Amino acid sequence: MKAFVVDRYGKKERLRAADVPEPDLRADEVLIQVHAAAVNLIDSKVRNGEFQLFLPYRTPFVLGHDVAGVVVRVGPQVRQFKVGDEVYARPDDLRIGSFAEFVAVKEDSVAIKPKNISMEEAASIPLVGLTAWQALVERAKLKKGQKVFIQAGSGGVGTFAIQLARHLGATVATTTSTGNVALVKSLGADVVIDYKKEAFEERLSGYDLVLNSQDGKTLAKSLGVLKPGGSLISISGPPDPQFAEDIKAPWLVKQVMRALSFGARRQAQRLKVGYAFLFMKASGSQLRQITPLIESGVIRPVIDKVFPFESTNEAMAYVESGRAKGKVVIKVR
């Protein structure tokens, strides 16, 4: 099958278009014929080698963390899916590979595709949808009447998280550039801060939750907009000791993560707020809870550009530029 492969770690490395064997199908997996795959910043970070500490992929490997397509084969233990089902998924860590014609995904990580959207739209959802769900619903248990600050509202996670937070009844603040103010307002943002014109930390205060997706400087400022007892969940790092425990990291890796997050945790403690790192995980059951929100129109996918499969490297470069509004998708079939 045709696929895009990481041969060497590095920021300047391009993916190689290659003919590779179809993935081995394990007993609890389905083989999906890929119709579309989304590109995420995590793809660049994995290729760059930034996650080797806890995601030790051995090169060469196929990249890609989002998929929508059709089931063409099922493992002997699979009970929920059959050949011909239209599905979407975020493949599990260490079993990624959706920049390809076929990908094998654990049954528990797959869900039936929402009926009212295209394959390209469906591929745009799993990673950002699960990230927003795990941050706002699972971790923060965001409630009606609470205030949440979602950074980078026009990005992939931001466009989804704003809609989900509004559905949960929260008041939503976000940052974006001048050209995207109308977009984030249309998604349900109540307070929109044009980061080119004003500083969010001067305008926001008394927030229950911050969803942090930016750098360390922004994280430090964001802790200050929380009320005592509030919490910041960061999807961009630094990883904390709890995350190290969750992934059963070796002792040395635990110490590294403890050191990396020491400053953020100390500042949070001083301000009497919480700090936590979230590295989203695959979940078919959570996707099944997201599906009706999409089918009812509560949440709509936001796609900036669709690239042909052969332009996967160009799609990666576009995501890395930081200019995308919503998601960038590769049409494979």
Whether the Cβ atoms of residue 63 and residue 8 lie closer than 8 Å to each other: no
Whether the Cβ atoms of residue 46 and residue 63 lie closer than 8 Å to each other: yes
pLDDT at 150: 98
Report the residue count for the chain: 333
Domain 128-277: state its class. Answer: alpha beta
Tokens matching residue 139: 């971790």
pLDDT at 220: 97
Residue 105, helix vs strand vs coil: strand
pLDDT in tens, 142-166: 999 999 999 999 999 999 999 999 9
Residue 179, helix vs strand vs coil: helix
Q: How far is CA 99 from the centre of its chain?
A: 16
pLDDT at 109: 98
Q: Is-above-0.85 flag for pTM?
A: yes
Q: What share of the chain is helix, strand, coil (3-state, %, to 5)?
A: 35, 25, 40
Q: Where are the domains of the chain?
A: 2-125+301-331, 128-277
Mean pLDDT of 255-275: 97
pLDDT at 201: 97
Whether the Cβ atoms of residue 126 and residue 95 lie closer than 8 Å to each other: no
pLDDT at 96: 98
Which residue blocks in 134-180 are alpha helix, DSSP H? 156-167
Q: How far apart are CA 186 and CA 172, in angstroms?
A: 12
pLDDT at 132: 98
Mean pLDDT of 277-290: 98
Mean pLDDT of 184-213: 97
**Residue 66: exposure state from Cβ atoms within 10 A (0-12, 13-18, ≥19):** buried
Mean pLDDT of 34-62: 96
pLDDT in tens, 74-114: 999 999 999 999 999 999 999 999 999 999 999 999 999 99
Backbone angles phi, psi at 305, to 5 degrees: -140, 150
pLDDT at 176: 97
pLDDT band at residue 69 using 50, 70 and 90 as cut-offs: very high
Q: How far apart are CA 179 and CA 35, in angstroms?
A: 31
Average per-residue pLDDT for the chain = 97
pLDDT in tens, 10-30: 999 999 999 999 999 999 999
Pick the CATH number of 2-125+301-331 from 2.40.50.140, 3.40.1160.10, 3.90.180.10, 3.40.50.1820: 3.90.180.10
pLDDT at 149: 98
